[in-house]
Structure 1
C-alpha cells in the first residue's frame, strides 16, 4: 500500500509570486493561495495542502502584527496532523519574516518561507519551482527542529543567517558567512547541517507602541539624527556601524546621551561577520561604544536586530532585563 502524503499548511500573504498584470502598467498581487496550488499540479504528488489566504500584500507592506498573527495561526494549526507549514510572501522582506517566525513559533515542525523573484506570468517565473521545493522541505521530517527556513532556488537557508543579496536574480538569497543548510535535488530534500533551535519568545499582544529606529552611518556623517530620536517617539535604536562595530568619534557623546534614555544596539553594515566586542580601543570603537552603554548585536543583521529589539520592548522588557534578554539570544546566533 502506498504511503500517505504529508499534510502541509500553506499560508499565502501575497508578493511577487502572486502578481499578474493589473489595470495599469506593472504587476500587482492578484492570486490567492488556492490559485497558486492549482497552478502547480506537481504539488499534488508531494503533499496534501490546507490553504489559508491570509492577505494579498506585497512583502514591504507586511507588519510585525501580521507576523505575530501568522505565528499564532501556525502554532494553533500544525498540531492538527500537519507535517509542516509554508508561508508564501514577497521576497522583499522574506529574511525579516523568517526571522520573526523563527523567534515566535513554538512548534518543532518545519516552517518554510518562500516566494518568487519573477511574477507568475513572467518568462522563467520561479514561483512554481520554489513552491514545489518548499512543499518538499515542509513535509520532510529531517528538517523538524531547525526553526523557520527559507527555500528558494532549491536551497534551504536558516532564518537567522539568510539575506537577500540581489534585486532580480532567482539566486538572490544567500547566507553570508555561512551556507545553505540544505538543498532539494531531484525532488528530494537533503539536510546538510543542523543548527540548534532558539527557544521561542512569548508573542506580544501589540507591537505598534515600540518603534525602533534603524540607522546606517556613512563616511563624514556627524550623527545629528541621534539627537532627534527621543523627540520622535522612538523607544530604541539599532545602528549599523562600520566594519566590526565602529562609528566616527563625533558620535561618541551623542551615543552617551542616547543610551541613557533608550536601548541602543550596535550591529554592522558588513554583510558577513559579527560585531566585535573586545578588539579595538579607539574612540568610537566597539569597546568604547559598549562602555558607553550600547548592546552588541553579535551575528544579527541590523534589520533582524531591530525586529528582536521591537519584540522584546513589546513584551515589556526594559533596562538591564532587556540587555540580558537581547544578549542571551544573540549569543546563541552562532553555528556552534
Structure 2
C-alpha cells in the first residue's frame, strides 16, 4: 500500500525500446554485436539515478533501425497515444541511430501532441568502454519529465543535447556528437542532470497527420552533375507514388532532368529539396531550365527548409493519408517555413492515394 502511494506521486514515463546499438550485445559465435536487450534490460541502469520516476518498460522490437517501416511507425504512434491515455506523463523511445532523424520527424507528424516524446539511442554499444547508451537514456528520461517540454513536439536527446525532430540529422558515422541541427542548433541541453531549454521550435506540429495507413512509396534521388534523366522514367515504371529530388544548391537540376521531372509531376507529386542539407530552397531567383522558377512552373513542389530525408517522410505520410495535391502543397508550405500559398497547384483536384 505504501509503495503504491509512493508510485502514485512519481512521474510516470514509459520507455519503449526498438533495438539498435543501445540494445546490442556480442553476437553468438561471430564477430560484431546485434540488438538483443529489451526495455527492462535498458532501464536497469536507471534504478538509482531515476528513483523519483515510475518507469514502465515496453519492448517493441529488437532490430536494427534500418528495418523500421512507415507502417510500423503508424502503429507505434498509436501505442504512444495509448500510453498517454493510460497515464504516462512522458514517453521515451530507444532505437538505432541510423534512422532517428527520419523516425523522429515521422512520429512528430503523426502525433502532434503536447505530451513529451523523447527519442534516444547510442553510438557505442554496451560492450564498449565508451558506451553512451545509459547516459543518453538517463538524459532522455529527465527531459521527458520536464514540464517545459510540453508543446515542443518530439525531440531527440543525444550527447546531453536536446534537438527538435524537425531539424535534427545524423552528421557523423560514429562520433558521440553525431547529431546536429544545421542552421538552427540544439534547442536545449542537460546541465547537472537537469534539462535547460533555450528556445521552443517555431514549427511544432499542431495538426497531426491522421489515417496514414494507405499504400504508396516515395523515391528519393540526389541530383548530380551529368545525371541521366531516364532514372525518373524508371521510378515511374516501378510504381512509386511520389518523388523527392535533392537538388543542387538552391534546389536545381539540369535542363534535361527538369523535363523528365515535369513529365513525372503530371502523374505523381514531385518535391525538390537541396542536397546541401541546410537553408531553404529558392523559389524565384533563377529561371533558367532546371532552376527553381522552371521547376515550380512545371508543377514541382518546393520543400522549403526541409532536407530531402525529411521531405520524403512528410510526402510519404501525406500520400498514405490520401492527401490531394492542394493539401500536399499546403503541408510543404507549412512545414517548409514558407508563407501561405497564393496560387493553386498545377492539378488542385488530384488525389494521389
Do the two structures share a fold, i.e. TM-score over 0.5?
yes
Matches for 1:214-229 after TM superposition, within 5 Å: 214-229=220-235
Query: Given the alignment of the two structures, is residue 202 of structure 1 paired with residue 209 of structure 2, yes or no?
Result: yes
Change in Cα spacing, 1:246 to 1:332, as seen in structure 2 (3 Å) is: closer
Q: 1:259-297 deviations in whole A, cap 9, x for unaligned? A: 111100001100211111111121111111111110000
Which residue is 1:11 aligned to? 16
Q: 1:2-41 deviations in whole A, cap 9, x for unaligned? A: 9943111111110000001012111001100000001333
Matched position secondary structure for 1:45: coil
Query: Given the alignment of the two structures, is residue 235 of structure 1 paired with residue 257 of structure 2, yes or no?
Result: no
Q: Distance in 1 between matches of 2:7 and 2:56?
A: 21
Structure 2: any 5+ residue segments left out of the alignment? 1-5, 340-353
Which residue is 1:93 aligned to? 99
Q: What RMSD over aligned residues (CA atoms) do the two structures have, in Å?
A: 1.8
Q: 1:69-110 deviations in whole A, cap 9, x for unaligned? A: 111111122133322110100000000111011101143111
Which residue is 1:285 aligned to? 291
Structure 1: any 5+ residue segments left out of the alignment? none
Kept in 2, the 8 Å contact 1:42–1:132? The answer is no
**Once the 2 structures are TM-superposed, how far is the Cα of residue 332 of structure 1 from its aligned partner?**
6.7
Change in Cα spacing, 1:332 to 1:19, as seen in structure 2 (3 Å) is: farther
Q: Distance in 1 between matches of 2:157 and 2:325?
A: 37
Query: Given the alignment of the two structures, is residue 35 of structure 1 paired with residue 41 of structure 2, yes or no?
Result: yes
Residue 83 of structure 2: which of 72, 77, 80 is its match? 77
Q: 1:207-240 deviations in whole A, cap 9, x for unaligned? A: 4x21111000211112220111121000110000
Matches for 1:59-138 after TM superposition, within 5 Å: 59-138=65-144
Residue 47 of structure 1: which of 23, 48, 53 is its match? 53
**Once the 2 structures are TM-superposed, how far is the Cα of residue 120 of structure 1 from its aligned partner?**
1.1
**Bigger Cα displacement from structure 2, 247-256 vs 34-43:** 34-43
Kept in 1, the 8 Å contact 2:241–2:268? The answer is yes
Matched position secondary structure for 1:13: strand
Kept in 1, the 8 Å contact 2:306–2:335? The answer is no
Which residue is 1:261 aligned to? 267
**Bigger Cα displacement from structure 2, 114-123 vs 215-224:** 215-224
TM normalised by structure 1 equals: 0.94
Matched position secondary structure for 2:50: helix
Q: Distance in 1 between matches of 2:118 and 2:338?
A: 21
**Once the 2 structures are TM-superposed, how far is the Cα of residue 320 of structure 1 from its aligned partner?**
3.0
**Once the 2 structures are TM-superposed, how far is the Cα of residue 327 of structure 1 from its aligned partner?**
2.7
TM normalised by structure 2 equals: 0.90
Query: Given the alignment of the two structures, is residue 21 of structure 1 paired with residue 16 of structure 2, yes or no?
Result: no
Matched position secondary structure for 2:182: coil
Kept in 1, the 8 Å contact 2:209–2:318? The answer is no
Matched position secondary structure for 1:25: coil
